Amino acid sequence: MDLVPSNNVTDGVFPSTCWECSVCCGSLVTVADGHVTNVAPNPQHPHSKGAFCVKGIRGAPGLTYGPSRITQPRRRCGPRGSGQWQEISWDEALDEMANRLAEVRQQYGPLAITGAVSGAFFSRGLVVALLMRSLGSPNWMINQDLCGGCRAVSARATGLNIGGGEDVANARTILIVGRNSYAADPVQWAAIKQAKERGARIVVVDPKRIPACDLADLWLRPRPGADAAVALAMMQVMIARGLYDRAFVERWCHGFGELKERVAAYTPALATQLTGVPADAITAAALLYADGPSTFVSGHGIDAFSAGVQTYRAFHCLVAISGNVDRAGGNRRIRPPRGFSTYLEVLHRPEFRLPRDVEEQTVGAAQFPLWAGPKGWQTACHNPSVISAILTGKPYPVRALYVSGVNIAVTYPDTARTQEALRALDFLAVATHDMTPTAELADLVLPKTTALEEEEVSLAPGGSTVLYTRPAVPPRGAARCDLDIAVALIERLTQRGALTKNFLPWRNQRAFNAFILGDSGISLEELQRTGYVQVPSRPSADVPFATRSGKIELFSETLREAGADPLPAYVPPARETQSAAVRSDYPLVLLTGDREKSYHHSRFRDQPWAAKVSPDPILLIHPDTARSLSVDDGAWVTVDVPGGPGACRLRAKISDRTPPGVVSTGMGWWRPQSAAPDHGARDININAALPYEGRWDPASGSVDTRGLLCRVRAAAPTEAHA
Ligand SMILES: Nc1nc2c(c(=O)[nH]1)N[C@H]1C(S)=C(S)[C@@H](COP(=O)(O)OP(=O)(O)OC[C@H]3O[C@@H](n4cnc5c(=O)[nH]c(N)nc54)[C@H](O)[C@@H]3O)O[C@H]1N2
Ligand SMILES: Nc1nc2c(c(=O)[nH]1)N[C@H]1C(S)=C(S)[C@@H](COP(=O)(O)OP(=O)(O)OC[C@H]3O[C@@H](n4cnc5c(=O)[nH]c(N)nc54)[C@H](O)[C@@H]3O)O[C@H]1N2
Ligand code: SF4
Ligand SMILES: [Mo]
């Protein structure tokens, strides 16, 4: 059957899904005269229940109709980064891209070609991975070493794949660790507020006084990066007092004896020394958590650390021994609807794989087998090792890169080195909506459709809502979606004999989406009508865990085999291993990545409404610290870290939300109006000051993007203007 293309645009109000971030809120999109005139929350939506944010309302239309939108392919016609572009047709762009990729493949072999995307959460991530595989390369970079990588590796090692399965609505106690739902996730935030209203108890573990602290019954304020000790001590209390779930542990946990032995030393008193949290607060947190059902709500604040896997392991073990797994009010494992494929599953399916010996050559797989290569969570590369490979040719040359839907010249640590690597490539193509600092360094810039122009089928975080994003309007100009770009490229690569195997058998996004729906019994037509289909959640209790033992591995056989510590442990933050001299030169601790409601990472930087809400990159400084530094509120300061590539400029905001001695900033800053090609990415972007090399988590390869030592100085008057 030939599937009708979905871009039959009509005016009206249509149910859809906001696709600007992974929260996946249900939306109502109004189209008038072929234009999106309004995006609003869908109060009927079973997943988001009317929750929404300003990025969905203003960001997506701003991106689609804004003046900075790229609508025609561009070819570089001056030196790299000179900002000289020539508009070309898609045929020219695709021919050139196929020629250049075929040349690199011929000269250096398929492994010299790499992709960069945000990950397999969006279909474009899967598409780019499969395009790389079609070229014969297992290499693709994802954001997750900077994002959710530590929890994903821990989830795999422990067998506790509970991301998205927080049953806040039915919990008696909610343990929030390193998660600021207020800014990051309006659906979760609404659920937490509702739970509080009905009497749930809330325990927050966060160095900063975030809005959830105002709802909290108990707030633990550990030193950054020290959380594992909190979890280990909570387990120690629960085990010593017999407050763990014996029956669950016996039936479903592997290695309880070893865990018990490991945590015995982590008394609350020891945890106080390691974290600064009072012992009685840790004990109180353990007692509240043990009095369930309790759900563990966690986030980026304990991920993206060079010991993040161990921290997550400690919390995952805490969840396991409390028995709050796959039961109401606890943490559920998500099982996709029968017959439905998630992008992540497709990535791992044998028919979409390259031979094992090829996948084993994925950059980083030798050092981080649980992260990169065939055994890795998303089979991706280790990013900083790719950057090195581009610059040094080791372990082998990487010469061509295709970037889609990421702005790595801003969002990867060590901006200067990332830029140097991008400049050193033989070929760089960037699919984008606007001229980001990454796109500025490309040979070819490809105009991408936005989420208002694309069709996407996906699964809501809770697993029981299949979501539909409607192509509400036709693409502006010549913009194309990732799948269309990849399919057209594959055709040309085939003609040039540069294809290993076609791993993208779909003719268009419709066919791809039909494949994702598979035998689920859900049709695209139904989704188009309703915007979502609710499916009964599949019970996961009694389903064996995805480990060799079929149990939750408190003692992880996978980690043991990989030569890592099989039991959860406290690993001192890297800063504590620095010399006294360095610590005295860099006396403060830096947190990065504070989410802002008006921005999504580096996005929406050209949009006036966002700049109005948040005009400058902020560094939160405690009043006492500001006083000792003689920094006034609103003053421009510079921040740098030991061993870092340089300083970054931020604007001080004096606030007691951050503890004394800890300064805290956002990420993703650049200014489209500042001079190309950097657009400020080496000035006001915190990643200009962070190294991407350094201590890497032994399992996930993550670097510290927070908890680093730093120093803050008043910016010289010449540096101080915005
Ligand atoms: N508006 C908006 N929403 C977003 C995004 C965005 O850019 N803008 N990005 C999305 C993405 S990709 C992600 S990954 C999520 C991230 O969102 P979250 O998972 O909420 O993570 P963060 O906002 O990075 O940090 C959460 C909390 O961790 C705390 N924290 C920092 N260090 C530590 C520590 O050592 N221990 C503990 N316990 N806490 C610590 C911070 O103070 C902060 O309150 O947000 C998503 N949502
Ligand atoms: N220091 C520090 N660095 C960090 C973090 C931190 O906390 N601290 N956070 C990390 C985290 S958690 C993450 S997830 C990363 C995020 O890093 P990125 O994914 O690079 O961030 P974005 O700004 O969201 O990426 C934006 C690019 O995606 C494109 N884009 C947006 N929407 C779409 C779409 O629908 N389709 C396509 N094809 N493209 C689209 C836009 O062109 C935009 O330029 O940053 C990481 N970097
Ligand atoms: S949180 Fe905001 S940006 Fe993310 S899906 Fe919901 S409305 Fe869209
Ligand atoms: Mo992220």
What tens digit of pLDDT does each residue of 599-635 get?
A: 999 999 999 999 999 999 999 999 999 999 999 999 9
Q: Which fold has domain 574-714?
A: Barwin-like endoglucanases (2.40.40)
Nearest residue CA, atom 4 of ligand 3?
A: 21
For residue 44, pLDDT beyond 90: yes
Going by pLDDT thresholds of 50, 70 and 90, the confidence category of residue 721 is low
Question: Which pLDDT does position 719 carry in this prediction?
Answer: 74
Q: Is 308 in the pocket of ligand 1 (CB under 6 A)?
A: no
Q: Is 178 in the pocket of ligand 1 (CB under 6 A)?
A: yes
Substitution site in 602, 669, 704 for ligand 2 pocket (most atoms within 8 Å of beta carbon) = 602
User: Which residue type does 77 have?
Assistant: C
The Cα 320–Cα 316 span in angstroms is 6
Flag the least confident range among 8-22, 70-84, 465-479, 661-675: 8-22
The Cα 512–Cα 128 span in angstroms is 14
DSSP 594-633: ---TT-STTTTTT-HHHHHH--S-EEEE-HHHHHHHT--T
For residue 53, give the ligand 3 atom closest to its CA: 2
Lookup: tokens for 62: 């701003």
Among 689, 685, 683, CA closest to 704: 689
The Cα 395–Cα 373 span in angstroms is 14
Ligand nearest to the CA of 668: 2
Question: Which pLDDT does position 42 carry in this prediction?
Answer: 97
Q: Is 605 in the pocket of ligand 1 (CB under 6 A)?
A: no
Task: Report the predicted TM-score, pTM, of the whole model to 2 decimal places.
Answer: 0.97
Nearest residue CA, atom 3 of ligand 1?
A: 184
**Cα 542 to middle of ligand 4, angstroms:** 31
At which residue do the structure tokens 């188009």 appear? 528
- First-to-last alpha carbon distance for the chain, in angstroms, is 58
The Cα 164–Cα 24 span in angstroms is 12
User: Which residue type does 537 have?
Assistant: S
Question: Which pLDDT does position 597 carry in this prediction?
Answer: 95
For residue 514, pLDDT beyond 60: yes
Question: Which pLDDT does position 159 carry in this prediction?
Answer: 97
Q: Do domains 162-332 and 574-714 have the same CATH topology?
A: no
Substitution site in 18, 28, 45 for ligand 3 pocket (most atoms within 8 Å of beta carbon) = 18
Q: Which residues line ligand 3 (CB under 6 A)?
A: 18, 20-21, 23-25, 52-53, 55-56, 186
The Cα 300–Cα 312 span in angstroms is 11
Substitution site in 16, 23, 141, 433 for ligand 2 pocket (most atoms within 8 Å of beta carbon) = 433
Helix (H, G, I), strand (E, B) or coil at 580: helix
The Cα 686–Cα 703 span in angstroms is 14
The Cα 683–Cα 261 span in angstroms is 49
Going by pLDDT thresholds of 50, 70 and 90, the confidence category of residue 5 is very low
Going by pLDDT thresholds of 50, 70 and 90, the confidence category of residue 462 is confident
For residue 410, give the ligand 2 atom closest to its CA: 20
Question: Which pLDDT does position 8 carry in this prediction?
Answer: 56
Dihedral class, residue 71 (left if φ above 0, else alpha if ψ from -120 to 50, else beta): alpha
How distant is the alpha carbon of residue 412 from its chain centre?
Answer: 12
For residue 299, give the ligand 1 atom closest to its CA: 19
For residue 240, pLDDT beyond 70: yes
Count other Cβ atoms within 10 Å, centred on residue 642: 18
User: Which CATH class name applies to 162-332?
Assistant: alpha beta
Q: Is 411 in the pocket of ligand 1 (CB under 6 A)?
A: no
527-546 tens-digit pLDDT: 999 999 999 888 888 999 99
Q: Is 302 in the pocket of ligand 1 (CB under 6 A)?
A: yes
Cα radius of gyration (the chain): 25
Is-contact 623 661, C-beta < 8 A? Answer: no
For residue 4, pLDDT beyond 80: no
Query: Near ion ligand 4, which residues have CB within 5 Å?
Result: 147
For residue 186, pLDDT beyond 90: yes
Q: Which residues line ligand 2 (CB under 6 A)?
A: 19, 118, 124, 143, 146-147, 300, 404-408, 411, 413, 431-433, 436, 448, 450-451, 482, 592-593, 600-603, 667-668, 686-687, 690, 705
Is-contact 275 573, C-beta < 8 A? Answer: no
Ligand nearest to the CA of 594: 1
Nearest residue CA, atom 23 of ligand 2?
A: 602
**Cα 21 to middle of ligand 2, angstroms:** 10
The Cα 45–Cα 186 span in angstroms is 14
For residue 21, give the ligand 3 atom closest to its CA: 4
Partnered with residue 654 across adjacent β-strands are 621
The Cα 178–Cα 407 span in angstroms is 24
Lookup: tokens for 28: 């109502």
**Cα 663 to middle of ligand 1, angstroms:** 15
Q: Is 224 in the pocket of ligand 1 (CB under 6 A)?
A: yes
The Cα 132–Cα 323 span in angstroms is 42
For residue 1, pLDDT beyond 60: no
User: What is the domain partition of the chain in residue ranges?
Assistant: 162-332, 574-714
Per-chain mean pLDDT for the chain? 96
Let me know the angle formed at the C-alpha of 501 by 495 and 502, rounded to the nearest 5 degrees: 75
**Cα 148 to middle of ligand 4, angstroms:** 6
Task: Give the residue-averaged pLDDT of 316-333.
Answer: 97
Residue 384 has phi, psi (to 5 degrees) of -60, -25
Cα dist from 356 to 108, 191, 199, 369, 412, whole Å: 20, 43, 52, 13, 29
User: Which residue type does 721 have?
Assistant: H
